[in-house]
Structure 1
């Protein structure tokens, strides 16, 4: 009861200051929840970006290490080795393409032989024979 009597006897500026203080503390509390949510979101986003940056840095580091090794070998006068894996792979791909092309051509020739009409009435004549019905003048 004592507190309620004191509030009734406040002056108008004191009441306005108390109301402003209550609004300010309410706004700060609600903003605190919003800031917590924003901080969590920023932390997640930052973590995601950091992991991607780490992946990129790792890839760049590996590339830099390979290039440095090659430069060191070149300065030492060592020649790079042949890329045997690429050469063998290219040979295998070439062999597979050649096999596919030959199979396709054999299939096309077999199909063409089946589709051609039979040549039963066709007779071949040798024009160089002496008793041939056809004479060829070569003089």
Structure 2
């Protein structure tokens, strides 16, 4: 009771300042709870994000090392190695295409020979204008 009469006797600016203080304290408490909740969820989700980031940074570092090595070799005047796997793959693909084309050509040639077995007959024409029958 004594405290309530003291609060009633304060001036209006003091009461407004006290209300503002109470509002600020409650806002900070709720913000603190929100921050704690956000920190908990970030901790839960952060491990997955950290793994993804580690993979991304690792692959980027690998690529950077590879490019740095190539740049160093280029500055030293060394030529890059031949891509043997690409060359071998291209040769095998060319051989397979050549074999397929040869097989198709042989099949087409045998079909053409079957069509060429037509018999031609010599016919004598009695009134040939050029005289080839003679």
TM over 0.5: yes
For 1:110 and 1:34, how far apart are their aligned partners in 2? 84
Shift of 1:96: 1.4
Shift of 1:35: 5.0
For 1:8 and 1:28, how far apart are their aligned partners in 2? 26
Q: TM-score, length-normalised on structure 1?
A: 0.54
Where do residues 90-105 of structure 1 align in structure 2 (5 Å cutoff)? 90-105=90-105
Q: TM-score, length-normalised on structure 2?
A: 0.55
Question: What CA RMSD, in Å, does the superposition of the two structures yield over aligned residues?
Answer: 4.2
Q: Which of 63, 68, 90 lines up with 1:64 in the alignment? A: 68
Shift of 1:31: 3.6
For 1:2 and 1:85, how far apart are their aligned partners in 2? 93
Shift of 1:124: 5.7
Q: Which of 120, 125, 134 lines up with 1:123 in the alignment? A: 120
For 2:111 and 2:10, how far apart are their aligned partners in 1? 110
Shift of 1:16: 0.8
Tell me the secondary structure at the aligned position of residue 70 of structure 2.
Answer: helix
For 1:98 and 1:57, how far apart are their aligned partners in 2? 43
Shift of 1:113: 7.1
Match in the other structure for 1:131: none
